[in-house]
Amino acid sequence: MLKKFLPNEHVKQVFDIHPSKLKQKGIKGIITDLDNTLVAWDVQDATPEIINWFKQMKDYDIKVTIISNNNQERVKIFSEPLDAPFVYSARKPLSRAFKTAAKQMGLNKQDIVVVGDQLLTDVLGGNFAGFYTILVLPIVQTDGKITQFNRKIERRILNYMRKKGKITWEE
């Protein structure tokens, strides 16, 4: 069961995910978390760097869908200027929203990666739904109340995995 918490890959930030490398792997779509993955959880709009990252993905014909447990208003305000489809109130780690995003993109599971900053929502949900998962470091070290609780559990899981030699990266 604990292996469902393990991402397939780990990077420091979304900017370390390059469209050319994704294309080489046959990836045609990204399902990405919003808060603390693309921007800090308390930042409303996309940064110029994120706008450029979305443009790079589009230039390589890689579809990006934002999936968030946050409310419609938060996700819509962020996603619409990027012309990015989104799923809000996703209830991650339940797999329904991941499958909805894949269906919206018209892609199969093996053509999509799931990107997020949390083991308990993004990685676990992506793994349960059968996707390739990439864990990124949180953009900021502050979080909302629920996420703070999740982070405590995540630290325990990561420490256990490190002791067992299952992961080799450092935060």
Q: Is the pLDDT of residue 169 over 90?
A: no
Q: In degrees rounded to 5, what are phi and psi of residue 10?
A: -135, 130
In whole angstroms, how far apart are CA 107 and each of 4, 27, 29, 55, 63?
Answer: 22, 10, 7, 20, 9
- Which stretches of 63-144 are DSSP H helices? 72-79, 96-105, 124-128
Q: Is the pLDDT of residue 171 over 60?
A: no
Q: In degrees rounded to 5, what are phi and psi of residue 35?
A: -70, 125
Give the span between the Cα atoms of 162 and 42, in whole angstroms. 30
* Residue-wise pLDDT tens digits, 114-130: 999 999 999 999 999 99
Question: Are 121 and 147 contacting, i.e. CB atoms less than 8 angstroms apart?
Answer: no
Q: Could you tell me the pLDDT band of residue 1, with boundaries at 50, 70 and 90?
A: low
Would you say the pTM of this structure is higher than 0.95? no
Q: Could you tell me the pLDDT band of residue 161, with boundaries at 50, 70 and 90?
A: confident
Question: Are 133 and 122 contacting, i.e. CB atoms less than 8 angstroms apart?
Answer: yes
Domain positions in the chain: 2-96+117-163
CATH number of 2-96+117-163: 3.40.50
Question: Are 26 and 62 contacting, i.e. CB atoms less than 8 angstroms apart?
Answer: no
Closest CA to 29 of 127, 114, 93: 114
* Residue-wise pLDDT tens digits, 126-156: 999 999 999 999 987 766 667 777 778 888 8
* Residue-wise pLDDT tens digits, 5-57: 899 999 999 999 999 999 999 999 999 999 999 999 889 999 999 999 999 99
Residues in the chain: 171
Closest CA to 46 of 82, 11, 71, 9: 82
